[in-house]
Amino acid sequence: MIKSLSNYWDLALQTIEQLRPGTSSLTSSAEWLAALRPTSIELYQSYRKDDIQVDYQRPEVQDAYLLRYFFPYCELSYQTFGLLEGANRNVCLNAERIVLFGGGPGPEIVGLLEWKATQPPQSTALVQFIIVDKAAESWEWWHRDLEKFLNTTRCDFRVEIIGSNECCSPQEAYNFGTPPLRTLFVAQNLLNEFSELDGKNWIGEILNVLNQSEDCGLLVVGATNYPTSSSLYRSLEHDATSRHLRTSRFEVRGKIGSNGVPAIIREHFHNHDQCRPLSNLNDRLFEGFFVEGPTKVDRRRPPCN
Ligand SMILES: C[S@@+](CC[C@H](N)C(=O)[O-])C[C@H]1O[C@@H](n2cnc3c(N)ncnc32)[C@H](O)[C@@H]1O
């Protein structure tokens, strides 16, 4: 579990308070939180449909997402990174650039950095996050505060968050610095938005990048009850295997609930029938997939028989 989650809560509450006039003393502003509740329910219901129509640029959607989903998803990323082993783990630990496909407010950033902090010191000087998301620019207010917070509370490396509404291609994101940095691609919690995203093409492009690079990886993780998740995992596994990429699947079990969530937020966003905490859904909540560089196939030697 992320130990310092309450620092991020303070940051989120302060940042929202500064940005939205009339929400001062947010922690005691039950009326304002109650007004956001229908949007939170709307989000919850739309994630259960095939055809998702969420406009993440709307301020009330951003506030509701930040308060209802961001923190459990920081925890999801954190737990996911903790599950990875061997080479997968090293790719994540040593990545200098992390491209968050559909990253939105970027809970993956908190999860990754908090997990890194539990590991032996690394030699990375800069960790750069590129958020490729159709609503990235409207999250600028949050990305800037998060970046500032991370750079004042950590002294081991510098963090840079770059948001891009333009869906730059995976190859462009990989070549963004010269020489290309060790890159980790992450696609978390957007599997049911993939039909709209044309995500399968995007994933195909990432696999092309991984084909050329030995120290890059792709982490895909999403809720098991998303309608399109299993077909996406199947096609990802098939495409990656046919390109001789190394793949592994894993499941995230257990509670990713409202731990560390302030009581007033729990009251308004978690304690009602249509918006249950994630931990109540089932035991096996999320599944994930990791793809890394090519398996070493020695084409010169015929197989022994
Ligand atoms: C459920 S949110 C997930 C955000 C984050 N990854 C997380 O775990 O909390 C899905 C994200 O996908 C983005 N998205 C949806 N369609 C997109 C598209 N066509 N191109 C880029 N991003 C898209 C949305 O803007 C949203 O931020």
The domain that contains 57 carries what CATH number? 3.40.50.150
Check: pTM over 0.75? Answer yes or no. Answer: yes
Contact between 116 and 122 under an 8 Å Cβ cutoff? The reply is yes
Percent of the chain topping pLDDT 70: 82
pLDDT in tens, 2-52: 888 888 988 998 888 888 866 666 555 788 888 888 998 888 888 877 777
What is the 228 CA–ligand 1 centroid distance (Å)?
Answer: 15
| Measured distance CA(148)–CA(267) in Å, rounded | 30
In this model, does residue 277 exceed pLDDT 50? no
Residues with CB under 6 A from ligand 1: 56, 69, 73, 102-104, 107, 133-135, 167, 188-190, 193, 196-197
Peptide bond into 107 cis (omega under 30): no
Report the separation in Å between the CA atom of 9 and the middle of ligand 1, taken as the mean of its atom positions: 21
- Shortest-distance Cα residue to atom 12 of ligand 1: 102
Is position 303 within any domain? no
Query: Quick check: is 195 in a domain?
Result: yes
Nearest ligand 1 atom, CA 103: 6
Structural domain containing residue 230:
5-294
Minimal-distance CA residue to ligand 1 atom 24: 102
Residue 217: strand, helix, or coil = strand
Q: Is the pLDDT of residue 288 over 50?
A: yes
CA-based nearest residue to 107, from 115, 119, 96, 118? 115
* Residue 33: per-residue pLDDT: 85
Residues 6+ positions from 68 with CB-CB distance below 8 Å? 40, 43, 44, 269, 270, 275
Confirm whether 301 is domain-assigned. Answer: no
Q: How many domains does the chain have?
A: 1
Distance 299 CA to ligand 1 centre (A): 40
In a domain, residue 299? The reply is no
Report DSSP letters for 181-250, one per residue. Answer: PPEEEEEES-GGGHHHHTHHHHHHHHHHHHHH-SS-EEEEEEETTSTTHHHHHHHHHHHHHHTTEEEEEE
